[in-house]
Amino acid sequence: MASPHSPAFLALVNEAKSRIQELTVEQVRQKQLQGDSFYLVDVREESEWQAGRIAGAIHLSKGIIERDIEKVIPDKEAEIVLYCAGGFRSALAADNLQKMGYRRVFSMDGGIRAWREAGFPEEC
């Protein structure tokens, strides 16, 4: 099956991924179960957020995260895990947050699709 994403978009994502760190859905779930302190940020669109999200996540869509992140998470040393549908938009957002001085930001590889495939809990 062909990718629904354009080659230029995928090149942009791959370039961003070369500069960021990613976590698997299993690693993120383990962090939750261990009670680790971190921000879980959903960067999907509002309609996607309304349709279901990972429990405990906050919403800062890709369209506004760079504008609003310093108001919501002012601590640039805070651990932040970003996710989207498949891990592409969250990689782009993670790259930008690093450029803004956030030092402990991660993108969740595979996004909420991989989370759901693993059978991990979500809320509506």
Rounded to an integer, what distance in angstroms lies between the CA atom of residue 58 and that of residue 39? 8
Rounded to an integer, what distance in angstroms lies between the CA atom of residue 107 and that of residue 104? 10
**Buried residues in 38-56 as b, exposed as e (16+ CB within 10 A):** bbbbbbbbeebbeeebbee
The question of whether 84 is a catalytic residue gets the answer: yes
Rounded to an integer, what distance in angstroms lies between the CA atom of residue 21 and that of residue 10? 17
Out of 20, 41, 57, 84, pick the active-site residue: 84
Active-site residue list: 84
